[in-house]
Structure 1
Amino acid sequence: MCFAVRKEVFVVEQGVPEDLEYDAYDDVAVHVLAVRDDGVPLGAGRLLHGAAAAGKTGGEPGVGSLGRLAVVPAARGLGVGVALVRAVEDAARARGLTAVRLGAQTHALGFYERLGYEAYGPEFPDAGIPHRAMRRSL
């Protein structure tokens, strides 16, 4: 179900090529999923940690990588994104991590800032979409 959410948001809505959306990290990531009471998926995200996170975190020990956070259009504004970020952070803490980094689409910077993330470094393209690196200590 996580992949279905990601396909709806990233591939269909945002035009990210499918071969860029899914990667080898999916096999080793911790995936989080938000669903309605009737089981309909509302949002998804993932945490990379350990060796899988090294490329995303510059090899910094104790730092995980939050990524592929997606909320279906009908569920936006309902707190689903916040719940997913907190679930990823909880999964990071449970694995002994002390910080989380992410690459935020620039239009979402305010969302992550409200959750305690700080942007750093220059803007960069990812799948043709402008992003900024962000980090939060846990």
Structure 2
Amino acid sequence: MKVVFGNSEKLWNDAVSVRRAVFIEEQHVPEELEIDEFENEATHFVLYDGEKAVGAGRFRTIDSIGKIERICVLPDYRSRGAGRLIMESIEQFAKENGIAKTKLNAQTHAERFYEKLGYKTISGIFMDAGIPHVTMMKQLL
């Protein structure tokens, strides 16, 4: 499996196809919340198994902090290191661009996954798209 990142239309379409399957179809997040006004300013990351897009995420910089968003993996690829590959690629990209800290809003069921990657919870539980989340942060540099 290989992670590819950038801003091309093909990459965005592949990322959205995974996000649609996971967030919109599986988790019932409304499409208007999933596909938002930040798509064009984000760098998109897609995990491929051969030619098939199986995972995705995106990255933006807000006030010099890296914001990791929309991390998702197709069901057949979960618990196989796919999410870790995406996160490691995003963190490497952040470091190469001088970003010292990253943060993300994690669904509470995924909080332990992010803790294992070194993220610390910095908020209480809040609802986003009807799903409980927490904000988490990690010092990279």
Normalised to the residue count of structure 2, the TM-score between the two structures is: 0.88
Which amino acid letter does the alignment assign opposite residue 20 of structure 2? Answer: K
Q: Percent identity?
A: 39
Match of 2:29 among 3, 13, 16: 16
The 4+ residue runs of structure 1 with deviation greater than 4 A are none
Which amino acid letter does the alignment assign opposite residue 83 of structure 2? Answer: G
Following superposition, the deviation at residue 94 of structure 1 comes to: 1.7
> Residue in 1 aligned with 2:118?
116
> Residue in 1 aligned with 2:52?
40
Which amino acid letter does the alignment assign opposite residue 135 of structure 1? Answer: M
Following superposition, the deviation at residue 107 of structure 1 comes to: 0.3
Number of residue pairs matched? Answer: 127
Following superposition, the deviation at residue 30 of structure 1 comes to: 0.8
**1:1-138 pair list within 5 angstroms:** 1-37=14-50, 39-49=51-61, 53=62, 59=63, 62-138=64-140
Alignment RMSD:
0.8
Cα distance between partner residues in 2 of 1:101 and 1:120: 9
Following superposition, the deviation at residue 24 of structure 1 comes to: 1.4
Which amino acid letter does the alignment assign opposite residue 63 of structure 1? Answer: I
User: SS where residue 91 of structure 1 aligns?
Assistant: helix
Following superposition, the deviation at residue 78 of structure 1 comes to: 1.0
Cα distance between partner residues in 2 of 1:35 and 1:81: 12
Q: Can you give the 5+ residue segments of structure 1 that lack an aligned partner in the other structure?
A: 54-58
User: SS where residue 24 of structure 1 aligns?
Assistant: coil
